[in-house]
């Protein structure tokens, strides 16, 4: 190849090209390398290759390159992250080869290709794939829990309706009332599970409308207390409210309703007959309101408390009257509260009761 042709290829290459001598001194660079490094040809040629890199790494890089060139240990191809003299970090695809130009003197030709954007794209793809794998894993676990927890109430419904079909003529009024109550309990459990499943599915698909607005906490609490009151009455559990009338939060109404409803439902579920469940609210810090649901029920051990809000932990157990619980409601509560810029706190003592609180932004 003529020197003119060589120069034309050298100068017009889109990849950065550098020629080193055996001492690590830069003999030639092309315009593409100058652009990549941020230094001119005059700045680079005749200097040791240290000049290209971060001062803390430069000497080590030069000594390694000289040693490998001298011992003929040349890596023909590698991808490496480098830090330049000006602190800029790049990912480069580096091709190395030993060449003879004249008088048998060997030089190291290195060709640099900037692959930083490709590396970032690969990282984004990897993170996306990891996130998708995590979502799929959570979905599988969620549906596994749902399938397990749907089985019992359906078995109960099938068994009870079978009795009614086969023995309806011989059942007393009291027996029919007992069966009706059991059917109602199983249907209630099924309904709660299906509501949780629907809301979780909407959250995962991003189809749960998020419309935060100013909400009066007392009005929200009163509505949910009235919803749960018939269930509480069956266990003779009193429901108390301690909320200032003008306290307001900024949140999505459907999500906050779901959170308070789940907290109240759990409070009643895990409180003994004749117990008490209380919902309260106060200004915790400037701009932050604390809404709490406390009970004097069974409470939890510290080990059990640490398993809350984790989909990979199986935590469901029955309430004080055998009411089933899957723990799915708390998973939803966590997602809903975080979506509204809040957090959940749990205080509990085994045998004495629990207090579930959300810290949520106040309305301005």
Lowest mean pLDDT among 47-61, 126-140, 141-155, 238-252: 141-155
Which whole number is the average pLDDT over 140-165?
69
pLDDT band with cut points at 50, 70 and 90 for residue 305: confident
| Percent of the chain surpassing pLDDT 90 | 47
Residue 111 has pLDDT above 90, yes or no: yes
CA 200/CA 215 separation, integer angstroms: 23
Whole-model pTM above 0.85?
A: no
Residue 35 has pLDDT above 70, yes or no: yes
Q: What is the pLDDT of residue 4?
A: 77
Residue 282 has pLDDT above 90, yes or no: yes
CA 176/CA 212 separation, integer angstroms: 46
Location of structure tokens 């799915």: 328
Question: Among 332, 276, 281, 324, which Cα is nearest to 308's?
Answer: 332
Question: Among 212, 23, 36, 5, which Cα is nearest to 112's?
Answer: 36
Lowest mean pLDDT among 54-68, 135-149, 272-286, 341-355: 135-149
Q: What is the pLDDT of residue 160?
A: 75
Location of structure tokens 């003197």: 105
Residue 86 or 147, more confident = 86
Which whole number is the average pLDDT over 33-58?
93
Q: What is the pLDDT of residue 85?
A: 93
Q: What is the pLDDT of residue 112?
A: 95
Question: Which residues neighbour 78 within 8 Å (Cβ) at sequence distance 6 or greater?
Answer: 93, 94, 96
Q: What is the pLDDT of residue 281?
A: 96
Q: Which domains does the chain have, with CATH numbers?
A: 3-114 (3.30.450.20), 209-361 (3.30.565.10)
Residue 33 or 158, more confident = 33
What digits encode the pLDDT tens for the residues 21-30?
Answer: 989 999 999 9
């Amino acid at each position: 190849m003529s020197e003119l042709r060589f120069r034309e290829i050298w100068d017009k290459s889109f990849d950065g090209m550098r020629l080193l001598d055996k001492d690590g001194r830069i003999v030639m660079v092309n315009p593409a390398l100058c652009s990549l490094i941020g230094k001119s040809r005059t700045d680079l040629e005749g200097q040791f290759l240290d000049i290209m890199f971060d001062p803390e790494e430069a000497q080590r890089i030069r000594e390694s390159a000289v040693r490998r060139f001298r011992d003929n240990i040349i890596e023909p191809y590698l991808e490496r992250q480098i830090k330049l003299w000006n602190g800029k970090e790049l990912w480069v695809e580096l091709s190395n080869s030993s060449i003879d130009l004249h008088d048998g003197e060997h030089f190291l030709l290195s060709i640099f290709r900037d692959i930083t954007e490709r590396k970032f794209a690969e990282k984004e793809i990897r993170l996306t794939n990891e996130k998708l794998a995590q979502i799929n894993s959570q979905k599988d676990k969620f549906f596994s829990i749902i399938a397990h927890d749907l089985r019992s109430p359906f078995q109960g419904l099938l068994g009870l309706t079978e009795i009614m079909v086969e023995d309806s003529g011989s059942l007393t009024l009291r027996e029919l009332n007992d069966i009706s109550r059991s059917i109602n309990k199983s249907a209630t459990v099924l309904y709660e599970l299906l509501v949780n499943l629907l809301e979780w599915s909407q959250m995962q698909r991003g189809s749960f409308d998020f419309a935060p607005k100013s909400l009066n906490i007392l009005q929200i609490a009163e509505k949910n207390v009235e919803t749960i009151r018939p269930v509480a009455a069956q266990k003779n559990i009193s429901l108390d409210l301690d909320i200032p009338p003008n306290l307001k939060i900024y949140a999505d109404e459907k999500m906050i309703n779901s959170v308070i409803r789940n907290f109240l439902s759990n409070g009643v579920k895990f409180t003994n007959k004749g117990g008490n469940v209380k919902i309260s609210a106060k200004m915790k810090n400037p701009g932050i309101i604390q809404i709490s649901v406390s009970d004097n029920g069974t409470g939890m051990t510290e080990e059990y408390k640490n398993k809350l809000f984790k989909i990979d932990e199986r935590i469901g157990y029955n309430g004080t009257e055998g009411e089933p619980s899957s723990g799915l409601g708390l998973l939803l509560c966590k997602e809903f509260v975080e979506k509204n810029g809040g957090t959940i706190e749990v205080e509990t003592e085994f045998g004495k009761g629990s207090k579930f609180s959300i810290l949520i932004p106040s309305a301005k």
